[in-house]
Structure 1
Amino acid sequence: MKTEKPDMKKYLNYLITVLSAVLCLFHLYAVYRGTLSIMRQKVVHIGLILLLAVLVYFVKKLEKGERIHPIDVAVNALFFGGVIYAASYIFIMDKQLVFFQGAPNKEIILAGLILTAALFFITQRTLGWVMPLIAVTALAYGVFGDRIPGALGHRTYSIARISSSLILGEDGIMGTPLGVSAGTVAMFVIFGSVLQYTGAGQAFIDLAFAAFGTIRGGPAKVAVVSSALFGSISGSPIANVVSTGTFTIPLMKKVGYEPEYAGAVEAVASTGGQIMPPIMGAAAFIMAQSMGVPYMTIVRAAILPAFLYYFMVLISIHLVAVKGGMKGLPASQLPDFKATLKKSWFLILPIGVLVYMLVVLRLSTNKAALYCCGLSLV
């Protein structure tokens, strides 16, 4: 029986909203000022996300009608305190961390253990036991690998060294992927969200319907085109499916596509959004950081693969439509292309401005995304 107070979920959602707003404002401030160190950006980023993950976990339990045990609350309270302590220490000691590379103090070792345990904790609650067990196995190999004979063995590494390396090393928790996430990816996620909630995402969907809705197999082709356009501003397959699939999957089923095929088309089309310029998935930003090249170099390299990807998906859909004798939707059920473009061109304008800033003005990706966020709101 559910024993929690009815308002608990509401209060948790308020807290999630506040922390999310703080996280977004922090990233906007960091990009605007441009003076915050990358380590401080990393630790605030991961600290707030870990806290948000715990709150979301509780909300999901309440939505399922599950009881939240007092022990669970106590464990998560310790989790909150530990993450806040570790993140605060690293934030305050940012300039001194370089002196601990060879000889970490007890506080750095403790901070590393706390953040490692926190990641295990959150990963287990969100993804199950497989990923944490793989990570524990890897860490155990580092500690006990000296006892393994032959080529698989290695010299011993102490827990203190491993813990500090996870914090101070570029291959650990605070390494390059987190730096990219806390820097460029976070800013583009905010920009994509602003575009979506100002109506640009819906404008792309309407334009795709107006352009392709009447041709053979139109709804499926609309799914591809709208997912490609929406992917260019989000880079997230999940957000892409949620935003475009709500409209396209029912329409594909309406004109004769099997439900399984309709879902597959939307999934494939949305997945391609990760390689659709100018805003791609996190891997594109990690590539730019790891290779030491401008982000626009990655964008230019992705144009042809993205075009070929979606072109072949359209060819496959067309062949299925021809085989099944499918037709498009009546024009009366679709938005008018010229009217839609006239009504919503200004919503799409920030995308063009972003490309102009990156290619012509050669602004940093973060600054360009920040300015385009402001333009979108205006």
Structure 2
Amino acid sequence: MKFTRKTFRPVILALAVALCLFQLSTSLGLLLIDPMMVRAGHVGIIFALIFLWRPPLDRYRKAPEEEPRFWLALDMVLVAASSLSALYIIRDLTFIQDMMPGIDELTTEQMVCGIIMVLCILEATRRTAGLSLVIVTLVALAYAVFGHMLPASFGHLYLEPQRIIESLYIMPDGIWGVSIGASATIIYLFVLFGSLLDKSGMSSVFLELACLCTKNAKGGPAKASIFGSALFGSVSGSAAANVYATGIFTIPLMKRVGYSAPFAGAVEAVASSGGLIMPPVMGSIAFVMAEYTNISYTGICKAALFPAILYYLGLFAMIHFEAMRCNIGGTPKELVPDKARLLKRLYYLAPLVILVVLMVSGMSVNFSAIAASLSILVLSIFHAETRFTVKKFLNAMEDAASNMLMIAACCACVGIIIGVVGMTGFGFGFVSMMEGLAHVSILLFLFVLTITCLIFGMGVPALPAYLLVATFGAPTLVNAGVPLIAAHMFVMYFAIVSGITPPVCLVAYAGASIAEANPMKTGFTAFRLGIAAYLVPYFFIFEPALLLIGSWDTVLPAICTAIVGTVCIASGMQGFMLITSTRLERLLFFGGGICLIYPGIITDILGLGSVCLGLALQLVRRKKLPVPEQTPEIETSQS
């Protein structure tokens, strides 16, 4: 029998089970070890899985039998090297903690293990997430090594190689810092929760419920994708994974009722990305943000709620206006789930309800996630289609491990960048430079920060992207006088929407692949559909009431004008309100929407005046239009 990567399958399954047991035992307190040991153990198992599971080149993933034995042998070496480098931290942690940073010399073993770990992280990230984050990390490392040669305002003091390795590998602020700490605790538990929900089949009720609720609505399948993707995406933690999980159903359905392929792929991409900003789970970002800011989890969710509603309201309105403009109907009757059968399965939503209730009641995040996962196992017993067999349970653990590979590798890579920012003082220099820009123009300052967040977020999963931009972006906003929660929400939004921002819009590309559409056209359509995500963060910087901060007499008017403004912006982007809009009417609706969301009585009056003028023009034109003939509904064939 030929030795291929498939030969590793039993080892991969064993490692996936070991990862699950390790994470659960450390989270429940059954295995009491130092957090740095937990992180090292997490990295050791994950990296072994990456090098066994992911071939070095994509073509070998499609044709594993063609992979030369040389690559397999090299991967075995990488498994051993990464495992030993992680094991050193566990074995000699006491010795490491007794060292005096910046004074004690590193041993040869520490230098070798540190260099090996950095190289393994770069290769693991390349295999799982592509070159984008690797290039950023290499630039950061080059800056650490050669930055002393740059002019004083851009450079830093000379750093010896061993001090660089010490900061990245030995100290707890680099590779073993907050980013990989989140991966080794909170993130894995929620990924496991999502995998159990998916493998049990209980997640299917999300989309079925959405289809039933929107069966008679104009453009029903597209609207169903919003609700299904919001629910599933919040738990899954990956916008791209969410596109594939729900898009295989919603995208063909959208195309079937009349939406263009790029529009269908873009709707799913934008809806899936929104799950990461929608409370209560927010793809685990809420819990990491709570650790970063020391703001309570409920405080994070409260602040995130209304901007997320505006995000989905803008998308919903655009879908509705597109359906009205193109006369697109509802979901075909044969594809609408049976109401009686769906009602009997509504208890499938119970794990998500349990998760939310436990967290809101003050239970720890770890306990809430584990309890919700256990509730899936218990509830699955009551129905044959959801009941776990040994094989299905092992598949769930394997799926959880697979979903963790890219997240953990990227978190470790982000740890290197954070370590470089700390040791070189780049963060302080960046903050100082941006503060100077803020004194010149606050709008220019926000725009430059937006571009910076989008660049650093391109090609990077949402959570590591947030961790990356929060390291240098949020402090600049705080120093400029922005409330802490608003600063972190601002950078989080642009880290997430980088996935739908051309040219490197990986989430939109995932939607395009299912829709069989042009990737760039899908990307620009997603950018247009997600316009609320690009505008709302600017508005809650100037009007914290949109984050539900302040008294109700301030918050309520801001909410009302923002809702109307978001719908008007959607109308202006889609070119439809009561009828198809002229260029002047589109400008009136879009400009009026901007004025309504922007805080201030004067802007509200200008916005209302602009919108009312646009509506008046449309009413006059609509009276002059001939009454359209009634067109029969398109009959759909029984599948």
Q: Same fold (TM over 0.5)?
A: yes
8 A contact 2:234–2:283 mirrored in 1: no
Query: Partners in 2 of 1:336 and 1:133 — Cα distance?
Result: 50
Query: Partners in 2 of 1:300 and 1:73 — Cα distance?
Result: 49
Give CA deviations for 1:124-175 in whole Å, capped at 9, x if unaligned: 3344545434323322322233333443332211111111111233541111
Residue in structure 2 matched with residue 92 of structure 1 by the alignment: 91
Aligned residue runs from structure 1 range 76-155, under 5 A: 76-102=75-101, 103=104, 105-106=106-107, 107-155=109-157
Give the drift of 1:122. 2.0
Helix, strand or coil at the partner of 1:164: helix
Give the drift of 1:94. 2.7
Paired residue total = 372
8 A contact 1:234–1:279 mirrored in 2: no
Aligned residue runs from structure 1 range 313-332, under 5 A: 313-332=315-334
Give the drift of 1:245. 0.6
Query: Partners in 2 of 1:234 and 1:155 — Cα distance?
Result: 43
8 A contact 1:209–1:219 mirrored in 2: yes
Residue in structure 2 matched with residue 223 of structure 1 by the alignment: 225
Summarize the Cα distance change of 1:16–1:190 in structure 2 as closer, same or farther, 3 Å threshold: same
Residue in structure 1 matched with residue 352 of structure 2 by the alignment: 351
Summarize the Cα distance change of 1:133–1:270 in structure 2 as closer, same or farther, 3 Å threshold: closer
8 A contact 1:192–1:233 mirrored in 2: yes
Residue in structure 2 matched with residue 334 of structure 1 by the alignment: 336
Query: Partners in 1 of 2:293 and 2:244 — Cα distance?
Result: 33
Give the drift of 1:71. 3.3
Residue in structure 2 matched with residue 32 of structure 1 by the alignment: 28
Give the drift of 1:241. 0.9
Residue in structure 1 matched with residue 18 of structure 2 by the alignment: 22
Q: Which runs of 5+ in 1 are unaligned?
A: none
8 A contact 2:55–2:127 mirrored in 1: no
Mapped pair 1:364 → 2:364: yes
Helix, strand or coil at the partner of 2:54: helix
* 1:41 maps to which of 32, 38, 55: 38
Select between 213-222 and 116-125 the one with higher mean Cα deviation.
116-125
Query: Partners in 2 of 1:214 and 1:174 — Cα distance?
Result: 52
Identity of counterpart residues, as a percentage?
36
Helix, strand or coil at the partner of 1:152: coil
Mapped pair 1:376 → 2:373: no
Aligned residue runs from structure 1 range 197-276, under 5 A: 197-276=199-278
Give CA deviations for 1:170-203 in whole Å, capped at 9, x if unaligned: 5411111111111111111111111222222101
**AA aligned opposite 2:94:** K
Residue in structure 2 matched with residue 162 of structure 1 by the alignment: 164
**AA aligned opposite 1:161:** R
Summarize the Cα distance change of 1:12–1:364 in structure 2 as closer, same or farther, 3 Å threshold: same
Give CA deviations for 1:314-370 in whole Å, capped at 9, x if unaligned: 11100000001111124443113343022x22221111111221112x111001111
Give the drift of 1:224. 0.8
Query: Partners in 2 of 1:127 and 1:368 — Cα distance?
Result: 29
Give the drift of 1:121. 1.9
Query: Partners in 1 of 2:137 and 2:90 — Cα distance?
Result: 26
Residue in structure 1 matched with residue 527 of structure 2 by the alignment: none
**AA aligned opposite 1:76:** D
Select between 85-94 and 101-110 the one with higher mean Cα deviation.
101-110
Mapped pair 1:68 → 2:67: yes
Summarize the Cα distance change of 1:212–1:54 in structure 2 as closer, same or farther, 3 Å threshold: same
Helix, strand or coil at the partner of 1:200: coil
Give CA deviations for 1:220-247 in whole Å, capped at 9, x if unaligned: 0011111112123222212211111111
Select between 194-203 and 279-288 the one with higher mean Cα deviation.
279-288
TM-score normalised per structure 1: 0.91
Over aligned residues, Cα RMSD in angstroms?
2.2
Select between 239-248 and 296-305 the one with higher mean Cα deviation.
296-305
Aligned residue runs from structure 1 range 263-302, under 5 A: 263-302=265-304
Query: Partners in 1 of 2:349 and 2:152 — Cα distance?
Result: 60
Give CA deviations for 1:27-62 in whole Å, capped at 9, x if unaligned: 111112263321111111112221211122239515
Summarize the Cα distance change of 1:262–1:62 in structure 2 as closer, same or farther, 3 Å threshold: closer
8 A contact 1:191–1:369 mirrored in 2: yes
**AA aligned opposite 1:143:** V
8 A contact 1:181–1:282 mirrored in 2: no
**AA aligned opposite 2:194:** G
8 A contact 2:189–2:370 mirrored in 1: yes
Summarize the Cα distance change of 1:367–1:261 in structure 2 as closer, same or farther, 3 Å threshold: same
8 A contact 1:237–1:274 mirrored in 2: yes
Give CA deviations for 1:94-141 in whole Å, capped at 9, x if unaligned: 333322241253133332211101012223334454543432332232
Select between 175-184 and 58-67 the one with higher mean Cα deviation.
58-67
Summarize the Cα distance change of 1:258–1:207 in structure 2 as closer, same or farther, 3 Å threshold: same
Q: Which runs of 5+ in 2 are unaligned?
A: 379-639
Residue in structure 1 matched with residue 633 of structure 2 by the alignment: none
Query: Partners in 2 of 1:65 and 1:96 — Cα distance?
Result: 43
Give CA deviations for 1:264-283 in whole Å, capped at 9, x if unaligned: 00010001111122222243
Give the drift of 1:18. 2.1
Summarize the Cα distance change of 1:319–1:167 in structure 2 as closer, same or farther, 3 Å threshold: same
Select between 293-302 and 256-265 the one with higher mean Cα deviation.
293-302
